[in-house]
Amino acid sequence: MGQRIIVIPAYNEERTIAEVVGSAVKFADRVVVVDDGSRDQTGALAKEAGAVVVRHAVNRGVGAALGTGIEAAVRLGADTVVTMDADGQHRAEDAGRVFDRLAQGDVDFVIGSRMKRGDEPGNMPAHRVLFNTIGNLLTFMLFGVWVTDSQSGMRGLSHKAAHTIELRTNGMESLSEFLKEMKDKHWKMAEVPIKAIYTDYSMSKGQNFFVGVKVALKLIFRRFIG
């Protein structure tokens, strides 16, 4: 079996990054942290915890960081790539489940869905469910792809997907852009239920209403013009 690499985009996450990397290394052969121009100790702490750190000289947004991380993973010889958030909202064992799903070999793209009920009940706060549903609807209208959690930061890419993905947007809107890529490149997709850990910290880091509106506008721009 080829290398399993976890990619974590991180921007000013010194409070959580060491713990996140520490648990991620148990479920992957390598962990790549993209330090997206942080002004704190994110990069140093990630390296100490065992990650390969790729550093953006200036902050470019989560989409750009994901693009860099996936490219780095490919250069490091990744067979499959799973992305996860740096704020501690994802459980590393869920990344393991996404890898396992990819290892079955019948899909190119896996979304770790916080909205899909598995053996454990979902625990997303109500207003997040609402934003997420709007995100899903918008993603469907713009790109014609229906998923239960279009804004999930936990995604898995097969060897083929990791080698061919091209992300053009820089910010949060790239999460929906993954789905456009999936559709354009005819990747087969699966969703794996995951459980998110909502702490005050991870809630403060996520998308708020205005970020959501900005993301929506950029997606529309990307769909029709960009």
User: Can you give the binding site for another protein, defined by CB under 8 A?
Assistant: 34, 52-58, 60, 64, 67-68, 71-72, 75, 168, 170, 221, 225-226
In the sheet that holds 3-10, the strands lie side by side as: 52-56, 30-36, 3-10, 78-83, 155-157, 109-113, 189-193
CB of 95 to another protein, least distance (A): 21
CB of 215 to another protein, least distance (A): 14
User: In this structure, how many other beta carbons lie within 10 angstroms of the beta carbon of residue 66?
Assistant: 26
Closest CB to another protein among residues 151, 170 = 170
CB of 212 to another protein, least distance (A): 19
CB of 169 to another protein, least distance (A): 9
Closest CB to another protein among residues 43, 112 = 43
CB of 105 to another protein, least distance (A): 28
- 3-state DSSP call for residue 16? coil
Closest CB to another protein among residues 68, 136 = 68
Closest CB to another protein among residues 146, 221 = 221
Task: Dig out the tokens for 21 from the structure.
Answer: 């990397």
H helix or E strand, kind and range, residue 96: helix 92-103
Extract the runs of DSSP E, i.e. beta strands, from 84-200.
109-113, 155-157, 189-193
Closest CB to another protein among residues 31, 194 = 31
Nearest CA-CA partner of 88 in 198, 187, 218: 198
